[in-house]
Amino acid sequence: MTLTSIGDLSRGFALKRQSVALKQALTRLGTEVSTGHAADPVAQLGGNTARLSRIEHDLALASSYRDTVSAARTTAETMQTALQRIGDDTDALVDTLVLAGADARPSGITLATAEAGATLEGMVSALNTGVADRQLFSGAAVDTAPLIPAGDILAQLRITMAAASTPADVEAAADAFFDTSGGAFETLVYRGAANDLAPVDLGAGETATLDLRADDAAFRDTLKYTALAALAGDSGLTLTEDARRGVLDRALDGLLGARDALSGRQATLGLAENRIAQADARIGAETAALEIARNTLLSVDSYQAATELEAVRLQLETVYSVTARLSRLSLVNFLS
């Protein structure tokens, strides 16, 4: 009978290879037990990874749309906040102008014009709002604040009104300044683009339009009549007290109409916000469904994986024990 054996060195190499294989299996099974997913997707799917690739692609696309929708939501909310601020300031100024009209004292005009000046500053600041270094009301010129400072607007308008002597003259000068195509407002005051931002792609063929610009007619009228009220008491205008009150009355009437237009812009923006919210919910549902599909493809039996992990752990301990015993063998111990 022929006996075949291997030398100590060969036996050591065999044990080392077995130890490495068991460690790899231990790592793989540990990952599968902790994550519930196959550590080797290709082996799990038998080499057919086409469906998994499609799911991963769709998840990446959904993530991209989620980022876009998140940015659009922030933009829309910030724009709505700016419009709300302008609306609140307009309402407060209207109340002040009503009180000024009922106050026969000259100080009523002074207080009203002072508040109008402060209100104009707040409106300009709101329309110059930006998010992440992007201006919201400049159209495509997102790197440029849309309006010059309120003080500069009043300075330019004061020049236009210099020869006005009646409330009608003052209002006509303001109309020419703010409303003339290619006039002072468009060349001196508004610094944004004449073209709108492109609609935001929300995926699934849906878009949201966030194209409000500071040169919109509703904003022009609000700025115009606020500036009109601010200059009603200006010492540089040759107006009687009655004429100044007449200017405040015209500013009040104009602001009431502008407030309605501003409410319409807020409503339109609210519709865009609703579309963005719906897209966000849709993308969330699509992402959840895709993740479930991916989990179904890659999931492993946690109980079986845990059982195999324990078995591999015992085998590895056995290999370590055998290796330790072999390392203690010597000729003296063998002969004794």
Model-wide pTM > 0.85: no
Q: Which fold has domain 52-291?
A: f41 fragment of flagellin, N-terminal domain (1.20.1330)
pLDDT at position 331: 46
Tokens of 293: 């599909």
d(CA 330, CA 282): 72
Classified as helix, coil or strand, 206 is strand
d(CA 325, CA 173): 105
Residue 1's Cα: distance from chain center in Å?
83
pLDDT at position 297: 74
d(CA 196, CA 193): 7
Per-residue pLDDT of the chain (336 residues; tens, 9 = 90+): 454 455 455 655 665 676 666 566 556 656 666 666 666 666 666 777 888 889 999 999 999 999 999 999 999 999 999 999 999 999 999 999 999 888 768 788 999 999 999 999 999 999 999 998 899 999 999 999 999 999 999 999 999 999 898 999 999 999 999 999 999 999 999 999 999 999 999 999 999 999 999 999 999 999 999 999 999 999 888 899 999 999 999 999 999 999 999 999 999 999 999 999 999 999 999 999 998 888 777 666 565 656 765 666 766 666 566 666 656 555 445 555
Residue 198 burial (CB count, 10 A): 11
pLDDT at position 295: 77
pLDDT at position 126: 98
Closest to 73 measured CA to CA, from 218, 281, 216: 281
Residue pair 221/258 in contact by the 8 Å Cβ criterion: yes
Closest to 230 measured CA to CA, from 301, 289, 154, 164: 154
Residue pair 276/73 in contact by the 8 Å Cβ criterion: yes
pLDDT at position 30: 62
**Residue reference for tokens 């001196």:** 188
The domains of the chain are located at: 10-36+300-335, 52-291
Where helices occur in the chain by DSSP H, the ranges are 8-35, 41-44, 50-102, 106-127, 150-160, 167-179, 184, 217-231, 241-298, 302-327, 331-335
pLDDT at position 3: 47
